[in-house]
Amino acid sequence: MIPELKIISKTDETSSIDYKDGCVLLVDKPLEWTSFDVVNKIRGVLRHRYQQKKFKVGHNGTLDPMATGLLMIFTGKYTKRIPEFERRDKRYTGTIKFGCTTNTLDREGAEKGQAPIDHITSALLDDTKAQFIGESLQEIPIFSANKIKGKAMYKMARQGQVFKPKVKTVVFNEIAFSNLKLPFVDFDLECGTGTYIRAFARDLGQKMDSLAYLYSLRRTQIANFSVENAFSIEDICQRIRESK
């Protein structure tokens, strides 16, 4: 039997946690930090806390730099248990901008293109979202860490290489739109593992005879764990420093 995971949230007592034995920390990733930045910051504090040159820290479910929200940070012996959380549903909120796009499909890239948006209505959005619910194929963004013949697609794209992007099967369980104020619309959705929300924004624009990109993104939930219970980076680092 697999032992129950020790999940630590911001309301839990942390003074006597054995981070070497392992636990999972719920952390709210800040804007413009990579997921690795969060891992590296916590690893550095743990190395200093235990006076060790090396300390195992990992995460489940990468977030792009322009996204914020929930990361599950695994410490010590728990890094071996990361695969247990690979196939968990995730919930996101955010904003999509219609009428143009970017090469990265989010705000990291410069806007380009121009497409009509006057025909976009709440009713059309509701009709279109039905085409995404359930299982479908999604073209992976070229600016992603996914690899082709061992080389990351984003590196190939930055070098100007032309290649056929990979396609994968994704699942959307729920999609809701709100606050439509063109060219923007807010969304709240739940999807399966490995789904690119940037690609969802791109595909939504195409299905509505327009262009679109992901303007903002926040992961609010992984399985039944909520970002509302997550530590800020500053808080968890201070908790680790003050632990016994």
Best CA proximity match to 5, nearest among 243, 232, 224, 188:
224
Sorted by sequence, the CB contacts under 8 Å of residue 28 that are 6+ apart come out as 68, 69, 70, 71, 227, 230, 231, 232, 233
Is the Cβ–Cβ distance between 244 and 15 less than 8 Å? yes
Sorted by sequence, the CB contacts under 8 Å of residue 126 that are 6+ apart come out as 177
Kind and range of the H or E run holding 178? strand 167-181
* 12 DSSP assignment: S
Active site residue 64: yes
Q: Determine the straight-line distance between the first and last CA of the chain, rounded to whole angstroms.
A: 30
Sorted by sequence, the CB contacts under 8 Å of residue 106 that are 6+ apart come out as 64, 66, 198, 201, 213, 214, 215, 217
Which of 64, 127, 186, 235 is labelled catalytic?
64
Best CA proximity match to 187, nearest among 197, 195, 111:
197
Total count of residues recorded for the chain = 244
Please confirm whether the linkage preceding 30 is cis (ω < 30° from 0): no
Helices (H) and strands (E) in the chain, counts: 5, 14
CA atoms of 229 and 231, how far apart (whole Å)? 7
Show which residues are catalytic: 64
